[in-house]
Amino acid sequence: MAEPLSKAALRVRQLRKAYQDVVAVDGLDLEVRAGECFGLLGPNGAGKTTTIEICEGLTRADAGEVEVLGLRWDAHASELRQRLGIQLQETQLAEKLTVWETLRLFRSFYHQGPETAEVIALVQLEEKQKSRVGNLSGGQKQRLALACALVGDPDLLFLDEPTTGLDPQARRQLWELIERFQEAGRTIVLTTHYMDEAERLCDRVAIMDHGKTIALGTPRELIASIGVEHLVEFSSDGAAGSVDTGALGRIDGVREVRRENGSVQMQVTELHRAVPALLEELGRQGVPLTELRTHSATLEDVFVALTGRHLRDE
């Protein structure tokens, strides 16, 4: 990594892709620097998969330019295939093959890369190397899919929703693997609709909605951009409706007060001053407090602030 931040690993300009009835990608611009982990964050149908698959040379764009590792798909496809590691959103690997056989097959396509045994050790599947793929758990399958993306010792790794559908423990395990690859100086582009995943793994994030980037920056910058550091939420056993929100809004450091599903949400800049004042005000109004929660603003809040919607409809 001589000049890690000067060279672009991926450059996308004015990318467009429409299917019969939807515009999946609508004039997208991206630049991913060598050595960084870049996240595409967005709700279902935002166009993340379409974008990443165009970059992977699997889908043809209607318009726009894509440059991967300084190369173009129409001229350098076979070189690019050797240098990219790819995990697709919904591949099912051959169920009848074992972990070892699967990786040996994938390894045979690449000129160079680690030995099969090394990749298996890397994703911690040693105990399962003789098991059939069909008998693996969801997390193990996902680690195998990651291993298949790593067998060619890629310069650039594309991961499309690497942890969707996994339990928290399996997700953390996968995050550690991705971080290790990142520490080795490789570039990663990943898509996700988990804000915690993006915050933990990504150096920079592009938030996508309806085929466009609506925000770009480090997770920290994006959170700071909405000007809210904390969120305070309380409920009061059915009495939340009678709270005088006007009075709450006048508390020092409180920016905005909203009612949502029987609870009250407040955007707050200084937690240490706002919370005591809130408790005092509720005491004065005689409102019994049944629940009080505070959390620091997340990328989810950024998305809500930008679109008025949540990332995932839960």
Ligand X SMILES: Nc1ncnc2c1ncn2[C@@H]1O[C@H](COP(=O)(O)OP(=O)(O)OP(=O)(O)O)[C@@H](O)[C@H]1O
Q: Which residues bind ligand X (CB under 6 A)?
A: 19, 22, 24, 42, 44-50, 89, 193
Q: Which is nearer to ligand X, 50 or 116 (CB)?
A: 50
Residues 6+ positions from 249 with CB-CB distance below 8 Å = 256, 257
- 3-state SS assignment for residue 102: helix
Q: How far apart are CA 47 and CA 276, in angstroms?
A: 44
Per-residue contact track with Mg ion, 23 to 52, x per CB under 5 A? -------------------------xx---
Per-residue contact track with Mg ion, 73 to 112, x per CB under 5 A? ----------------x-----------------------
- Spatial CA neighbour of 113 closest among 148, 72, 78: 148
- Bridge partners for 39 per DSSP: 190, 205
Q: How far apart are CA 139 and CA 121, in angstroms?
A: 15
Phi, psi of 12 (to 5 degrees): -125, 130
Q: Which is nearer to ligand X, 17 or 186 (CB)?
A: 17
Contact 48, 12 (CB under 8 A): no
94 contact, one of Mg ion, ligand X, other proteins, none, CB 5-8 Å limit per kind: other proteins
44 contact, one of ligand X, other proteins, Mg ion, none, CB 5-8 Å limit per kind: ligand X
Cβ neighbour number for residue 1 with a 10 Å cutoff: 10
- 3-state SS assignment for residue 245: helix
Q: How far apart are CA 119 and CA 107, in angstroms?
A: 10
165 contact, one of other proteins, Mg ion, ligand X, none, CB 5-8 Å limit per kind: none
- Angle at which helix 138-150 crosses helix 168-183, to 10 degrees, equals 10
Q: Which is nearer to other proteins, 110 or 175 (CB)?
A: 110
**71 lines the binding site for other proteins (CB under 8 A):** no
Q: How far apart are CA 206 and CA 198, in angstroms?
A: 10
Which residues, 118 to 147, sit near other proteins by CB under 8 A? 118-119, 121-122, 132
Q: Which is nearer to ligand X, 46 or 254 (CB)?
A: 46
Q: How far apart are CA 247 and CA 4, in angstroms?
A: 51
Per-residue contact track with Mg ion, 157 to 196, x per CB under 5 A? ----------------------------------------
Q: How far apart are CA 35 and CA 18, in angstroms?
A: 31
- Give min distance, CB of 19 to ligand X, in A: 3
Contact 64, 18 (CB under 8 A): no
For other proteins, the binding residue among 115, 126, 256, 291 (CB under 8 A) is 115
For other proteins, the binding residue among 47, 152, 162, 219 (CB under 8 A) is 152
* Site residues, other proteins (CB under 8 A): 56-58, 78, 81-82, 84, 86, 88, 90-94, 96-97, 101, 104-115, 118-119, 121-122, 132, 148, 150, 152-153, 180-181, 183-186
* Site residues, Mg ion (CB under 5 A): 48-49, 89
